[in-house]
Amino acid sequence: MTDEGPAIGDDEPAESTFRLDEVLSPNVGRSLRKLPNLVAMALRITWRAARREFVVSAALQVTAGVAVAGQLLAGRQVLEHVVRGQVAGGFADTLPALAAFALLTAVVAFSSLASIEQQRLLTELTARFAMGQVLTVAGTVDLVSYDNPAFHDRLRRAQVNAQVRPAQMTSGVFGLLTSGFAILGIGGALLVIQPQFVVVVMLGYIPAWVITKRASRVGYQFALEQTERDRRRDYLAVVLTGKDEAKEMRAFGLSRYLRGRYEHLYDQRIVDMRTLVRRRLTLGLIGGLITSALTAGTVAVLVWFVVTGRTPVSAAGAAAGGVLLLGQRLQSVAASAGLLYESSLFLEDFASFLDLQPAIEAARPKGTPPPAFQRLVVEDVWFQYPAATSPALRGVSLEIGAGEVVALVGENGSGKTTLAKVLAGLYAPRQGRVTWDGVDVAECDPDRVRDAVAVVFQDFIRYHLTARENVVMGRPDRAADSDHFTTATARAQADTFLRRLPNGYDTQLGPHFFGGTDLSIGQWQRVALARAYFRDAPFLILDEPTSALDPRAEYELFNNIRELFAGRAVLLISHRFSSVRSADRVYVLHEGEVVESGSHEGLMARKGLYAELFTLQAASYLEAGG
């Protein structure tokens, strides 16, 4: 049994969702302890994504930090000259210090500017890299994850966070280092001049830090709470702007109704946002008041020292400058640390999403399925969707041999598509097994299993790419095989109309992009069939493959199905009973169970569900004909 599998739980159906549930629940509390790891992760991401920009940016920041310290020293020297000016030297003596001061000011200004520009690139490159990782995870998680809203919440946040957080965290680290470095310099100088002030100024920033941290947390909590609502709003925006939806929007006059829903969701967000802004402003105000009170107090004490003659004017002047600079730096430390803390919260969420990947890899079975099976056996298969309260498949058993056409029929919702997805290796059964020549598919690498299967889903995708790409994507590594391409399009009867397009097979399909041509739904279905032929797999699953085809195309497909797929195992799902008559075996599904099976004749003789549905359909055709 494959209790190793990521989407398989043994007893509780609800657990079939994930063993990955732990990584799916973000835990804010641990963030602070994890900060060093997260910082390391952010730096690693930045390093891998944008090494050069990282080094240049770091060098510029360090340069700026050193230059600021130099500025203070040069400034003090100028000041000393000013104070001593009347007694000795004269203006000429101050020139070197003044020149150094001017040069250092220019260095600070330029390195800060250059660093900002470098960070622009850095942000873009890290965002691309982080987004690439999100796409990798999204491409490898089991299909069942997509049935789970929690997964969609996480995916959305990961996408949003990938855009900014790693770069934000890196710049937070840089900012912290630069300011820290400058504080050491300024603080050191001040300690010599007026030690007591250093302590007071530093103490003044503790409340600023505590408050920044609190504000970050509030912001993070807000983002967490909004995710589901934001997704709903995004969904409505897609419906309101999508091409496929546009006709119903107009025909049913839905735009106003859905727009109302959209605005309502936005109103709720804005209300929450106002609360957030109020809370953050209040926090900022309190912090600002405490800090400025302390700064004002420090300056007042300084003035008092000068007035009462305890401190000479030059020392007080330097100290005042130092206190001011230190204050600025401490403020940027608080800002950088706040940024770091805030991005760490988001980055932890992001990191736990990326953790899905190793979990999937570790849980992935390593076995090799037979390249082409002679016999596929389904034994007592149960499956339940994560959000469902009852199983969609209940103890299904069936067999398909190579060279056979096996049909699956049943009413809507009886489980046909679900079974097709299980057989295609897209869903893992909760119980029971699927074997290929005796090899349990659940113990095989799912990529290899899927490699041997070609599926045409009833809701196949219309790719807005060229006609050729739409077909060769069935097996991209054979894209250059033109004979194979010709055969596939001809078998699907897609060759004639595709060749007639403005640029033939190289015509862009779909109206999304310039030069694009849309097809009729039936023509799209033939393209989807051509893709399946091109895949050339030993096991073929056709889920309502002719729903949009005209009667002639449908007749030809079913009539030639054996010839078209000679030697392959074919599972055919159809609600058109006439088309399944010639199947080797028909399985009738009802509420997730196989209730009847056999040949058409045998099933008719049984006078069960199949006979009833067949007769109903035949009668409706006759009535329509008569």
Binding positions for ligand ADP, rule: CB under 6 A? 147, 385, 387-388, 392, 410, 412-418
Residue nearer to ligand ADP on the CB measure, 453 or 541: 541
Phi-psi label, residue 142: left if phi above 0, alpha if psi -120 to 50, beta otherwise: beta
C-alpha to C-alpha distance for 391 and 591, rounded to whole angstroms: 9
C-alpha to C-alpha distance for 167 and 128, rounded to whole angstroms: 11
Q: Which residues pair with 508 in a beta bridge?
A: 466
Instruction: Decide if 230 contacts 156 (C-beta within 8 A).
Output: yes
- What's the number of CA atoms in the CB half-sphere (13 Å) around residue 602? 11
Residue nearer to ligand ADP on the CB measure, 135 or 388: 388
Residue nearer to ligand ADP on the CB measure, 13 or 172: 13
Residue nearer to ligand ADP on the CB measure, 481 or 593: 593
Task: Report the nearest approach of ligand ADP to the CB of residue 542 (Å).
Answer: 13
Amino acid identity for residue 140 in this structure: T
C-alpha to C-alpha distance for 112 and 22, rounded to whole angstroms: 42
24, 78, 352, 442, 461 from 21: Cα distances, Å:
5, 64, 11, 21, 30
Task: Report the nearest approach of ligand ADP to the CB of residue 553 (Å).
Answer: 22
Burial 357-394 (b: 16+ CB within 10 A, else e): bebbeebbbeeebeeebeebbbbebbbbbbeeeebbbb
Task: Report the nearest approach of ligand ADP to the CB of residue 624 (Å).
Answer: 24
Phi-psi label, residue 607: left if phi above 0, alpha if psi -120 to 50, beta otherwise: left
Task: Report the nearest approach of ligand ADP to the CB of residue 625 (Å).
Answer: 27
Task: Report the nearest approach of ligand ADP to the CB of residue 418 (Å).
Answer: 3
Task: Report the nearest approach of ligand ADP to the CB of residue 382 (Å).
Answer: 13
Amino acid identity for residue 15 in this structure: E
- Say whether 329 sits in a helix, a strand or coil: helix
Tokens matching residue 206: 């503790």
33, 35, 184, 338 from 208: Cα distances, Å:
21, 20, 19, 10
Residue nearer to ligand ADP on the CB measure, 418 or 431: 418
Instruction: Decide if 451 contacts 539 (C-beta within 8 A).
Output: no
C-alpha to C-alpha distance for 319 and 303, rounded to whole angstroms: 11
- Say whether 413 sits in a helix, a strand or coil: coil
Residue nearer to ligand ADP on the CB measure, 182 or 420: 420
Instruction: Decide if 315 contacts 193 (C-beta within 8 A).
Output: yes
Residue nearer to ligand ADP on the CB measure, 216 or 418: 418
C-alpha to C-alpha distance for 436 and 429, rounded to whole angstroms: 15
Task: Report the nearest approach of ligand ADP to the CB of residue 392 (Å).
Answer: 4
Tokens matching residue 594: 């196989």
Residue nearer to ligand ADP on the CB measure, 129 or 385: 385
Residue nearer to ligand ADP on the CB measure, 86 or 412: 412
Residue nearer to ligand ADP on the CB measure, 173 or 588: 588
Answer positive or negative: Cα dihedral of 433, 434, 435, 440: negative
Residue nearer to ligand ADP on the CB measure, 5 or 410: 410
Task: Report the nearest approach of ligand ADP to the CB of residue 448 (Å).
Answer: 25
Instruction: Decide if 424 contacts 369 (C-beta within 8 A).
Output: no
Q: Which residues contact 122 (CB under 8 A, 6 or more apart)?
A: 46, 50, 53, 54, 57, 167, 170, 171
Task: Report the nearest approach of ligand ADP to the CB of residue 169 (Å).
Answer: 36
Task: Report the nearest approach of ligand ADP to the CB of residue 262 (Å).
Answer: 25
Instruction: Decide if 598 contacts 586 (C-beta within 8 A).
Output: yes
Instruction: Decide if 430 contacts 8 (C-beta within 8 A).
Output: yes
Task: Report the nearest approach of ligand ADP to the CB of residue 556 (Å).
Answer: 25
Task: Report the nearest approach of ligand ADP to the CB of residue 44 (Å).
Answer: 37
Instruction: Decide if 58 contacts 188 (C-beta within 8 A).
Output: no
Task: Report the nearest approach of ligand ADP to the CB of residue 410 (Å).
Answer: 5
Residue nearer to ligand ADP on the CB measure, 94 or 417: 417
Nearest to 347 by CA among 208, 218, 170, 140: 170
Residue nearer to ligand ADP on the CB measure, 414 or 435: 414
